[in-house]
A and B are shown apart, each in its own frame.
Chain A
Amino acid sequence: MAERRSATGNGLWNRIGTPAASHGVLLAGSLSMLFPFVWMLATSLKPADETMLWPPRLLPINWTAQNYPTVLNAAPFVRYFVNSVIVSVGATILVIATSVLAGFIFGKYEFPGKRLLFLVILASAMFPFETYMIPLYLTMKSLGWINTYQGIAAPYMIMSFGIFLMRQHIAHSIPEDLLDAARVDGASELKIFLRLIVPLCSSPIGALGILAFIQAWAAFIWPLLMATHRSMYMMELGLSTFQFRYTADYHLLSAAAILNTVPMLIAFIILRRRIIESVALTGLKG
């Protein structure tokens, strides 16, 4: 039986070992992947003195949920959450708008300068954000955008990969005849874009939206520079300043960390397949 499968299937694995052994390895790996989450959750449900037990215990002796209200009273995490949502949603909308528009133009039109302009967009993606954040900061400062949502969202408003992705999709999966038929019917180019292209791109738009949202949500060094008022902190930054105040209070830190993890966790549980596919599509930038 195993012989037959190895001859017909892709066969690589069956030649190296047995499924039982590989499940063993994968399970051990899964446990180490999950352990920090479990440990954090367990710690968040312990009273303060139980974080300083030796030997440490995984499960609390006296379970308590008190750490969560304490954390929420100590720092405005709800506000941080709202800020994160505003910045990430705003950035996502702009990434989608610019990517679909530019992707359509680069995918379906010929015009002088096209190759050069497209090359500029792709080449700019080779520069990591950290390498040009100083001049960008100076620009934001002169615009008076420090401590504003648009300032914090700025670097995440465009994505070269997004333009590339939309161009590929539109060039390959939307037939030219469809556009010509619309033109014969008297539709303007703008109308074709809004009425025809945008609805036909809903699937890659979804993938791109997920990428753009994750990228903005995970931002750290830029909000660290841009948000100097606590009221403008995003969740990540809020949590990091919280940890400088409660350095050793791991029961509180864990509760705060869980609160910061939950939104993404819920999104991941609901959209698991879409998220993995979207990220596998590209190099999600940190």
Chain B
Amino acid sequence: MVEPSAGSLVAPAVTLTDRLCGLLRMNRLKFSKYCFCYLGLIPVFAIYWVLRLEPIARTFILSFYDWHLIRPLKPFVGLANYYEMWSDDNFLLALRNTTLFAVFVVGASVVLGLALAVLLAGNLRLTAAYQAIYFLPVITPMVPMAIAWKWIFDARYGILNYSLSWFGVQPIGWLTSPDVAMWAIIIMSVWKVLGYNMVLLLVGLKNIPAVYYEAASMDGAAGWKMFRRITLPLLKPILLFVVVISTINAYNVFTQVYVMTQGSQAAPGAPLRVLVFDIYQNGFQFFKMGYASAEAVVLTLIVLALTLIQMRVIRADGE
């Protein structure tokens, strides 16, 4: 029923198509495939351009300008923003804090995640239940979890200080000084991402064929030796993936820092300064968007460099 009307509508286009096909020296099938590919990709790349590619490029461009949201003049300043950064105490502090945070969170969450995955890889009962429980913090949103932990860390009525008091530890103002808050946020963040690392590493462990273990056990390997000689090398690709992802995420930490240390009890002097917070503050509270972009470029370079180094190190080690 639809056929005739559709046919008559398409008819004039067919001759045009034929002419184009002849012009481009390709058959009609190839032509229609090309049309579909490029026409299909146009909207996708248009979105990519507006939301990703252009902003990434413009971050680099803005970083060379004294680009202030409010001021009409936005002069080109070359590398001045970058020079300024190296004498900016806030930025250096943020860089130091974020690096410390990343080192400890990645270290702890990968080691603990691997240990848990090894326990679960032994085909214990209740594996699915354990997985679900450890995964729960991963899936729940960050803000309510940060609030729950803020309450646990509360200096006066917090349950953590109470538990520590059993061991004779004096109350600690967990979130009132930036230095201590760092540790509180590291603990909270490890808790939050542990299940993610565990699930991924468990997938990796399960993919190691049992024959390797059988062969190694015939050679008399066991326990730690087996783990080091068989498990770790075969787990390397997924371990690499977990370390890279965790590091990138750790360098972009913001939400829990914002919720747990911004305007916390009795408004402490300074919030814990991390890179994304510094970018946020310079860009959106002080409107120094050129300078904030330069910071963003540094963050980008750190993340890219770390990714490359980690890939290189782990690959070289495996060969």
| Interface residues in chain A, defined as those with a beta carbon under 8 Å from any beta carbon in chain B | 6-16, 19, 22-23, 25-26, 29-30, 32-34, 36-37, 39-40, 43, 51-56, 94, 98, 101-102, 104-105, 109, 111, 114, 117, 120-121, 124, 126-139, 154-155, 157-158, 163, 183, 188-190, 193, 214, 217-218, 220-221, 224-225, 235-237, 239-240, 243-244, 247-248, 250, 253-254, 256-258, 260-261, 264-265, 268, 272-273, 275-276, 279-280, 283-286
Instruction: Tell me how far the C-beta of B112 lies from the nearest C-beta in chain A, rounded to whole angstroms.
Output: 8
Question: A10, B264: Cβ atoms under 8 Å?
Answer: no
Instruction: Tell me how far the C-beta of A161 lies from the nearest C-beta in chain B, rounded to whole angstroms.
Output: 11
Answer yes or no: B64 CB below 8 A from chain A CBs: no
Question: B157, A275: Cβ atoms under 8 Å?
Answer: no
Answer yes or no: B138 CB below 8 A from chain A CBs: yes
Q: Give 6 nearest A-B pairs by CB, closest first.
A: A13-B122, A257-B144, A189-B36, A135-B58, A283-B245, A132-B55
Answer yes or no: B75 CB below 8 A from chain A CBs: no
Which residues from B are CB-within-8-Å of A104? 40
19 CB contacts below 8 A, A to B, read A9-B122, A16-B227, A33-B134, A53-B157, A102-B40, A104-B40, A127-B300, A128-B303, A135-B59, A139-B54, A154-B51, A163-B44, A220-B142, A220-B255, A221-B254, A225-B284, A243-B259, A268-B136, A280-B199
Which residues from B are CB-within-8-Å of A137? 283-284
Against A, the Cβ 8 Å flags (1 = close, 0 = not) of B282-308 are 011000010011001101100110010
Interface size on B, residues (CB 8 A): 111
Q: Do A14 and B143 contact each other (CB < 8 Å), given the known contacts A43-B151, A124-B48, A189-B32?
A: no
Which residues from A are CB-within-8-Å of B137? 33, 36
Question: A236, B265: Cβ atoms under 8 Å?
Answer: no
CA–CA, A13 to B222, complex, Å? 10
Question: B143, A220: Cβ atoms under 8 Å?
Answer: yes
Residue of chain A at shortest CB distance from B280:
A221
CA–CA, A217 to B113, complex, Å? 25
Which residues from B are CB-within-8-Å of A101? 40, 44
Answer yes or no: B104 CB below 8 A from chain A CBs: no
Which residues from B are CB-within-8-Å of A52? 156-157
CA–CA, A154 to B259, complex, Å? 24
Which residues from A are CB-within-8-Å of B145? 36, 257, 261
Question: A36, B47: Cβ atoms under 8 Å?
Answer: no
Question: B162, A236: Cβ atoms under 8 Å?
Answer: no
Answer yes or no: B71 CB below 8 A from chain A CBs: no
Question: A243, B139: Cβ atoms under 8 Å?
Answer: no
Question: B59, A134: Cβ atoms under 8 Å?
Answer: yes
Which residues from A are CB-within-8-Å of B231? 12
Other than the given A98-B44, A132-B59, 10 more pairs (CB < 8 A) read A11-B217, A104-B40, A124-B56, A131-B300, A132-B55, A261-B145, A276-B132, A276-B135, A280-B200, A286-B252
Question: B33, A257: Cβ atoms under 8 Å?
Answer: no
CA–CA, A248 to B200, complex, Å? 38
From B56, B141, B222, name the one whose CB has the most chain A CB atoms within 10 angstroms: B141
Which residues from A are CB-within-8-Å of B121? 10, 12-13
Question: A220, B254: Cβ atoms under 8 Å?
Answer: yes
CA–CA, A265 to B43, complex, Å? 35
Which residues from B are CB-within-8-Å of A33? 133-134, 136-137, 191, 194-195
From B37, B38, B137, B280, name the one whose CB has the most chain A CB atoms within 10 angstroms: B37
Answer yes or no: B50 CB below 8 A from chain A CBs: yes
Answer yes or no: B241 CB below 8 A from chain A CBs: yes
Instruction: Tell me how far the C-beta of A106 lies from the nearest C-beta in chain B, rounded to whole angstroms.
Output: 9
Q: Do A34 and B141 contact each other (CB < 8 Å), given the known contacts A254-B151, A280-B199?
A: no
Looking at B78-86, B88-96, B176-184, B207-215, the stretch in contact with chain A turns out to be B207-215
Question: B152, A36: Cβ atoms under 8 Å?
Answer: yes
